[in-house]
């Protein structure tokens, strides 16, 4: 007898992250249960990109779920920035080595904004999920206790962030053997997730963890910063393109707005010159008082057999070097990232939700629906724009839309991946003489992890970041 069960699809930045979501779907959970399981597994499998000490965004939709965006990105501290003497707090620069490029980050206690991830977990579970949080957290807890083998991609991230991992005794200890092929265990994180799975918002934000973080010397966070923090629920930013609706991250964050503005700019032209012009337009808009985030980012997408879609983007920045006592994870360094402090360090407005370029996105059409997103700092806006253009304007398959060569324009400079035709390259060089041609495809250009459901079910993890796609029943 032929099965009538409909398939599910999962795409994530690590095989174990995707497998955790699949395990929950096999147990009868929905896409929202599965995305939380993937999120918690990413703390174990992708610990330098994803952490309970960071922030993120979850965009969801389904037959019985109106589209909504859960914003659990970080808040700035309540202390007035003008009262802070940068020379008198734990805040200092390190250099991240990206091979052909280097970038300065600031770390230390004073680089951390209020972590939002635990609030996002509690809000998502309370409003969306069908399984107990203990069941959802179980795959991640077991993996943290047993240990996971570090893959080449995560080891490469560790190499880039080596100055941060070596910045404190606690970080050195936690990431002592974080090298390709080594088994990395994190029993402190397992205990943290085990307790979190039976607790609530108050346990993290009004309990001992928040108290310890607020009492740390040189931290800018006070108890009220934790007790007042809440996950915000927002209406997605929506754009209608022919028979499709594109839903993405709304203000106060900026990534979704810039993606939408690029798509609008295309109008009736979809050639490579028009794409570059749209990117140049977005770069001009970016020069207004808007800000961005962040290199330390990962994304996961889930579609279940009932038609629910979940798109989740997470970030910990690069981490501030400080390990949360007895918890096995590092706090974010969002106050120390130049990209999201465009006006300069220690010039933020107190108690304000920080802006982000992260843009979890859904595309809803009559025949196909998509959930997608990417890491990649300020490349997020151009990466997703190009993939959406390939899907909707060029009718490419999801695999070809993600694998197609990309370019990125910023501050008058154009970076170009290999794969464009000779005519396209000639057009791009003529239009923008200041450019760099890359010799290979690179994680610099993002890592789009996306799923498709409807007439065809597909899951694609971006090869640029060793992503993983799973389709199952």
Q: What is the pLDDT of residues 119-134, one digit of tens each?
A: 999 999 999 999 999 9
Per-residue confidence (pLDDT) for residue 101, from 0 to 100: 59
Q: Which residues carry out catalysis?
A: 297
* Residue 291, pLDDT score: 39
The confidence score (pLDDT) of residue 442 equals 85
In the prediction, which pLDDT does 99 show?
58
d(CA 23, CA 29): 9
| pLDDT at residue 100, as a whole number | 54
**pLDDT tens, N- to C-terminus, the chain (473 residues):** 445 678 999 999 999 999 999 999 999 999 999 999 999 999 999 999 999 999 999 999 999 999 999 999 999 999 998 889 888 899 999 887 655 556 788 999 999 999 999 999 999 999 999 999 999 999 999 999 999 999 998 998 898 889 999 999 999 999 998 999 999 999 999 999 999 999 998 999 999 999 999 988 788 999 999 999 999 999 999 999 999 999 999 999 999 999 999 999 998 889 999 999 999 999 888 765 443 434 578 999 999 999 999 999 999 999 999 999 999 999 999 999 877 777 789 988 999 999 889 999 999 999 999 999 998 878 899 999 999 999 999 999 999 999 999 999 988 999 999 999 999 999 999 988 889 999 999 888 999 999 999 999 999 999 999 999 999 99
Tokens of 241: 């393109």
Structure tokens at 464: 């640029």
Tell me what pLDDT residue 2 has.
46
Q: Are 471 and 450 spatial neighbours (Cβ–Cβ below 8 Å)?
A: no
The answer to whether residues 447 and 13 touch, using CB atoms and an 8 Å cutoff, is: yes
The residue with tokens 């390190």 is 94
Regarding beta strands 413-416 and 435-437, do their DSSP bridges make them parallel or antiparallel, or are they unpaired?
parallel
Phi first, then psi: what are they for 2, rounded to 5°? -80, 135
Residue 176 makes CB contacts below 8 A (sequence gap 6+) with none
pLDDT of residue 1: 42
User: For residue 401, what pLDDT is reported?
Assistant: 98
What residues does each domain of the chain span? 8-472
CB count within 10 Å of CB 81 equals: 19
CA distance 61 to 64: 8
The residue length of the chain stands at 473
Q: What is the pTM of this model?
A: 0.95
Query: Is 3.60.20.40 the CATH classification of the domain at 8-472?
Result: yes
């Amino acid at each position: 007898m032929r099965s009538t069960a409909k398939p599910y699809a999962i795409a994530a930045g690590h095989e174990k992250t995707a497998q955790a979501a699949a395990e929950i779907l096999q147990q009868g959970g929905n896409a929202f249960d599965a995305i939380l399981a993937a999120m918690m597994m990413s703390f174990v499998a992708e610990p330098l990109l994803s952490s309970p000490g960071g922030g993120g965004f979850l965009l969801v939709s389904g037959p019985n779920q109106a589209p909504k965006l859960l914003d659990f990105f970080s808040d700035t501290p309540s202390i007035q920035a003008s009262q802070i003497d940068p020379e008198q707090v734990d805040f200092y620069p390190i250099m991240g080595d990206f091979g052909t490029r280097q970038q300065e980050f600031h770390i230390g206690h004073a680089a951390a904004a209020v972590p939002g991830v635990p609030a996002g977990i509690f809000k998502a579970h309370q409003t969306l999920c069908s399984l107990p949080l203990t069941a959802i957290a179980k795959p991640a807890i077991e993996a943290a206790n047993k240990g996971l083998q570090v893959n080449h991609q995560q080891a490469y991230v560790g190499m880039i962030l080596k100055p941060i991992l070596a910045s404190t005794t606690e970080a050195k200890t936690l990431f002592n053997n974080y090298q390709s092929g080594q088994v990395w265990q994190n029993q402190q994180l397992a205990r943290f997730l085990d307790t979190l799975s039976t607790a609530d918002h108050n346990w993290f934000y009004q309990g001992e963890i928040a108290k310890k973080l607020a009492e740390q010397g040189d931290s800018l966070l006070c108890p009220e910063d934790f007790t007042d923090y809440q996950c915000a629920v927002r209406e997605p930013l929506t754009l209608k393109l022919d028979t499709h609706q594109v839903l993405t991250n709304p203000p106060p964050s900026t990534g979704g707005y810039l993606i939408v503005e690029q798509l609008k700019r295309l109008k009736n032209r979809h050639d490579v010159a028009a794409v570059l012009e749209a990117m140049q337009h977005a770069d001009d808009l970016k020069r207004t008082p808007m800000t961005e985030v962040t290199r330390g980012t990962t994304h996961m997408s889930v579609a279940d057999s009932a038609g629910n879609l979940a798109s989740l983007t997470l970030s910990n920045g690069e981490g501030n070097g400080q390990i949360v006592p007895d918890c096995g994870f590092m706090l974010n360094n969002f106050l120390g990232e130049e990209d999201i402090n465009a006006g300069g360090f220690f010039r933020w407005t107190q108690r304000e939700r920080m802006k982000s370029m992260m843009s979890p996105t859904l595309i809803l059409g009559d025949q196909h629906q998509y959930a997608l997103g990417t890491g990649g700092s300020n490349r997020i806006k151009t990466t997703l724009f190009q993939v959406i253009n390939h899907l909707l304007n060029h009718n490419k398959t999801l695999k070809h839309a993600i694998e197609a060569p990309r370019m990125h324009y910023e501050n008058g400079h154009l970076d170009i991946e290999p794969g464009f035709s000779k005519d396209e390259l000639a057009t791009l060089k003529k239009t923008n003489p200041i450019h760099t041609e890359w010799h290979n495809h690179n994680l610099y250009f993002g890592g789009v992890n996306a799923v498709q459901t409807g007439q065809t079910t597909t899951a694609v993890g971006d090869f640029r970041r060793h992503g993983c796609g799973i389709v199952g029943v």
